[in-house]
Amino acid sequence: MGESEPNEHAQAFSGELVYWIAFDSPQYDSGGDGPYRKAQVWGRYLRTEPDPAG
């Protein structure tokens, strides 16, 4: 959803980035709040998915 941004939170790692992501379908958080269509996620919590083609 655009460029990454520096994470300026006090508990962020030095140089850590945050990313805006858009969900394929609206999501609820662990507390039941939502639905959310997008979210800002810290880089340490993102991972790539394996390529299904192998």
Task: For residue 21, tell me if it sits in a domain.
Answer: yes
Q: Which residue has the higher pLDDT, 34 or 3?
A: 34
3-class DSSP string for the chain: CCCCEECCCCCCCCCCEEEEEEEEEEECCCCCCCCEEEEEEEHHHCCCCCCCCC
Give residue 24's domain range. Answer: 5-45
Q: Which of 20, 51, 54 has the alpha carbon at shortest distance from 38?
A: 20
Task: For residue 41, tell me if it sits in a domain.
Answer: yes
Domains contained in the chain, number: 1
Task: For residue 53, tell me if it sits in a domain.
Answer: no
* pLDDT tens by residue, 34-53: 999 999 999 999 888 888 88
Instruction: Name residue 27's beta-bridge partners.
Output: 36
End-to-end CA distance of the chain: 26
Q: What are phi and psi of 21, to 5 degrees?
A: -125, 150
Task: For residue 54, tell me if it sits in a domain.
Answer: no
pTM for this one?
0.70
Task: For residue 17, tell me if it sits in a domain.
Answer: yes
Task: For residue 25, tell me if it sits in a domain.
Answer: yes
Average pLDDT rounded to a whole number, residues 15-40 = 96
**Mean pLDDT of the chain, nearest integer:** 93
